[in-house]
Chain A
Amino acid sequence: MAIQHEGLAKEFEWVTRPGEQKHIGEAIEKTDALMQELAYQLILGANTEVGRLTKEALDNGYTANQVLDDGLLNGMAIVGVKFRDNVIFVPEVLVSARAMKAGMQHLEPILSASGVEPIGTVVMGTVKGDLHDIGKNLCIMMLRGAGFVVHDLGVDTAPDEFADAVEEHDAQLVGMSALLTTTMPNMGRVISYFEDVGLRDEVRMMVGGAPVTQEFADEMGADGYGENAVECVDRAKELLVLLKELKA
């Protein structure tokens, strides 16, 4: 079966890795014309149109979860791949993120009222002394797009702010971002702080940002490292499974 929507089918051509082709392709193929149009408009970043289509779908009896999974998230998956592969850049991603928000405005009240469990809760911030947040924000967007609840602590985040947020929101995952070599060690400090206050075993901690490497991540005792926003989501999913096993 092929993707019916012409525009979306064209966008899907940017997905070239076999694993992703299968995963995203199968998710899209089982959706109908309206959901495919929604995914397509999200990729274009047409925020008014995404808001309108989302509302139309809800009015026509689609569930909020359907609209999210079959429409918005499929679109976002393609946006993530295009950004990683340098087909599009930050402005285009920001525009799609804004469109996602326009859709979520209609979905969020329904989703939170229905009490559907999110797949996981993440606390995410840029570490102390660092004000770079573009990459962190893209990761958050993709995590939300993948069904996580993310609490954004913003930039310049101190160790105790991470810890407090984990307790307040009962989060399973902590994501830290650093773009400066001067602030990279602060990721290690957050990890030690979690050890000191007895929270280390309650969460899995992942790190990222341009100067961070797997090597640095291992050295400072992080549980996971991701090179880009797509990997951030993959890592979050893996770490969640790991945490459940550890706690079981």
Chain B
Amino acid sequence: MTTKAQVAGKMTSRQRVMNALNGLPVDRPPVANPTSVATVEMMDLVNAYFPEANRDPEMNARLAATEYTEFGFDAIAPYFSIIQESSALGCDMQWEQKDNWPTVRMANPIWKSSRDVKVPADFLQHRDITAITGSIKLLKQEFGDDVAIIGKTMGPWTLAYHVFGVEPFLLGTVDDPDETMAALHRLKEFTVLFGQAQIDAGADILTLPDHATGDLVSAEYYKRFLLEMHQELAETFDVPIILHICGNTIDRMPYIAQTGMAAFHFDSRNDPQEAMDAVNGGIKLVGNVNNPTTLYARTPAEVRKEVYRALDAGVQLIAPECAVPLKTKAENLVEIPIAVEDWAAEHGMI
């Protein structure tokens, strides 16, 4: 299927996304979800279902491609969840079924302290790692010239939730912050290894989720534990990095703007205008159409309104706020690039 959005644009989707991330001119703002747009409807369409589509490169690529072929977004993001590395590290997994995301059973953590953090010799050969790198290779071959391929590598903070358990890890930040820093530094190795493997496989961009959200920890925490590490990670990779933190993040956006990353993917709980003011040009923003209410339960007209609100505020890349709910209707997702096209036409861009 070729969507209206694809026909009308002048640049390729890939150029549009790369330009927007690099601060270069675009024919219209790109649409790209750096997290996931896998839906149950698309699983049925291309015959690639959860949980297998998370673990098999071909199924993964088939499902991931629908982001471009069916919804008309400008990017393809094949890592749908946040658990691939954790599975490779041996975490207790719950793979779930078609209509739910796989997850780590964090009540049974595998590690207790930074000393336990060791890189398994075959980490990059684990099937849940090669599912993604393999899929990126396939996607690169088929869509690489036209579409931006977005890989994803978990930041140390999110990995820590999985390997230590959320509560033990967060208690540790109060009891022994030096130990927390040591653990984060060691976990960062996985972020680098998996990120680089995806770049080698052909990823144009990396998303780096690291859930130090305002729903859990203070802005001061972000600054103390993560800012420097994120700056270092931004330097490490030679592709644009999109930091992803869902939830309330306005209070830490001034710090996030100093990471040196290309963009920040933000949640609908933050007003787009306030967010633009908070980052003050220090970093591009990607977002922030609401998932659980608007995309999941409302109509295209309401999706359109939120897209316009983000564009009017100056948000550079338009996207749902996080991994879209699996039962999101296609018509609501298709509406996003259409609305962007219309907004761009009204603003004399296209």
Q: How far, in angstroms, from A133 to B107 measured CA to CA in the complex?
A: 10
Contacting A90 at CB < 8 Å: which of B100, B216, B326? B216
* Contact (Cβ within 8 A) B107 A154: yes
> Does A112 interact with chain B (Cβ within 8 Å)?
no
Contacting A131 at CB < 8 Å: which of B94, B170, B296, B325? B94
| Stretch binding the partner chain, chosen from A91-99, A162-170, A189-197, A237-245 | A91-99
> Does A134 interact with chain B (Cβ within 8 Å)?
yes
* Contact (Cβ within 8 A) A94 B167: yes
> Does A129 interact with chain B (Cβ within 8 Å)?
yes
* Contact (Cβ within 8 A) B171 A98: yes
Beta-carbon contacts under 8 Å, B83-120 to A:
94, 96, 99-101, 103-107
> Does A137 interact with chain B (Cβ within 8 Å)?
yes
Number of interface residues of B (CB under 8 A): 29
Q: How far, in angstroms, from A103 to B106 measured CA to CA in the complex?
A: 27
> Which B residue's beta carbon lies closest to that of A87?
B218
Beta-carbon contacts under 8 Å, B52-111 to A:
94, 96, 99-101, 103-107
* Contact (Cβ within 8 A) B103 A131: yes
Chain B nearest CB from A159 CB (Å) reads 16
* Contact (Cβ within 8 A) B100 A129: yes
Chain B nearest CB from A181 CB (Å) reads 4
Chain B nearest CB from A236 CB (Å) reads 22
* Contact (Cβ within 8 A) B170 A90: yes
> Which B residue's beta carbon lies closest to that of A181?
B325
Contacting B167 at CB < 8 Å: which of A131, A134, A154, A211? A134
> Which B residue's beta carbon lies closest to that of A135?
B215
> What would 14 more interface pairs be, CB under 8 Å, given A91-B173, A181-B327, A210-B292?
A89-B221, A90-B170, A90-B215, A90-B217, A91-B171, A91-B174, A95-B174, A133-B107, A180-B100, A180-B101, A181-B296, A181-B326, A182-B99, A211-B292
3 residue pairs, one from A and one from B, having the closest CB atoms: A211-B292, A181-B325, A91-B170
